[in-house]
Chains A and B, each alone.
Chain A
Amino acid sequence: KAGVTQTPRYLIKTRGQQVTLSCSPISGHRSVSWYQQTPGQGLQFLFEYFSETQRNKGNFPGRFSGRQFSNSRSEMNVSTLELGDSALYLCASRVTGTGLRTGELFFGEGSRLTVL
């Protein structure tokens, strides 16, 4: 069974540009979450999508947005990039996300974004 696939793996942008990252979850997983990972802050929750609806959102500015398609694939977009946006962006999927307890997250390898 294929794992979570994220593209691109690496990208370099300049300040002010925008970027779109893509995530294909494990087949059958309907919940997709996005995290930003930096050495100083660790993993910070961005948002979660379930059945094409944003269900949870972290404390990030409006420049960070996302969406989920009917096939559960998800994209996140960052507009007007800043130097501080340089990070590893991780996508994680779960089976249903409707249980009482937050279940295991299956992570992709991440998209490494460098902003110059």
Chain B
Amino acid sequence: TQLLEQSPQFLSIQEGENLTVYCNSSSVFSSLQWYRQEPGEGPVLLVTVVTGGEVKKLKRLTFQFGDARKDSSLHITAAQPGDTGLYLCAGDAGGNKLVFGAGTILRVKS
């Protein structure tokens, strides 16, 4: 069974601070997706990383896929209250199935 572990589980920071969320596995994934979920809504895709070592930037968010395609990180620069939400990583387990991590709850205080 392929598992994805996310850390930290909870993160409460002040506006303007930087943070990093980690997503780790002992399994190799062909690709990895990051989603953000806000209260009362379903998850929304932020990015998909495919190539080992790949780095993608989305405004203040930087996503990295590990060289061995077993881990990924999400770095947010100068966090804002609008970044508050549940961040989920999901690995492509093949067979059109995604394996989700348990998520990181981020709260950014103004």
Q: Do A and B bind each other?
A: yes
Cβ < 8 Å to A, chain B residues 56-110: 88, 90, 92-103
Give chain B's interface secondary structure class. loop
Q: Write out the residue numbers on chain B whose beta carbons fall within 8 Å of the beta carbon of A94.
A: 96
Give residues in A with beta carbon < 8 Å to B: 4, 31, 35, 41-45, 48, 50, 55-56, 90, 92, 94, 97, 100-102, 104-110
Would A56 and B100 count as touching, CB distance under 8 A? no
Partner of B97, one of A56, A90, A108, A110: A56
Q: Are B31 and A45 in contact (CB under 8 A)?
A: no
Q: Are B96 and A43 in contact (CB under 8 A)?
A: no
A5 to B: closest C-beta gap in Å: 11
Residue of A nearest to B47 (CB): A104
B20 touches A (CB below 8 Å): no
The residue that A102 contacts in the complex, of B31, B42, B103, with Cβ under 8 A, is: B31
Which of A31, A100, A109 is in CB contact (< 8 Å) with B42? A109
Q: Which residues of A contact B35 (CB under 8 A)?
A: 105, 107
Q: Could you tell me if A43 and B45 are in contact, using CB atoms closer than 8 angstroms?
A: no
Q: Verify B98–A105 contact, CB threshold 8 A.
A: yes
Binding site secondary structure of chain A: strand
A104 to chain B, nearest CB (A): 5
**Can you give 10 A-B contacts (C-beta < 8 A)?**
A31-B96, A42-B100, A43-B90, A43-B100, A55-B95, A94-B96, A101-B31, A102-B31, A102-B98, A106-B45
Q: In the assembled complex, how far is the CB of residue A7 from the closest CB belonging to chain B, in whole angstroms? A: 14
Shortest distance between the CB of A61 and any CB in chain B (Å): 17
The distance in angstroms between the C-alpha atoms of A87 and B105, with both chains bound, is: 18
B22 CB to nearest chain A CB (Å): 15
A92:B42 contact, CB within 8 angstroms:
yes
* Complex CA–CA separation, A50 to B99 (angstroms): 18
Query: How far apart sit A90 and B43, CA to CA, in the bound complex (Å)?
Result: 9
Q: From A94, which residue of chain B is reached at the shortest CB distance?
A: B96
Assess the A97–B96 pair: CB atoms within 8 A.
Answer: yes
User: A104 with B43: in contact, given A41-B102, A45-B97, A48-B96 (CB under 8 Å)?
Assistant: no
B11 at the interface (CB under 8 A from A): no
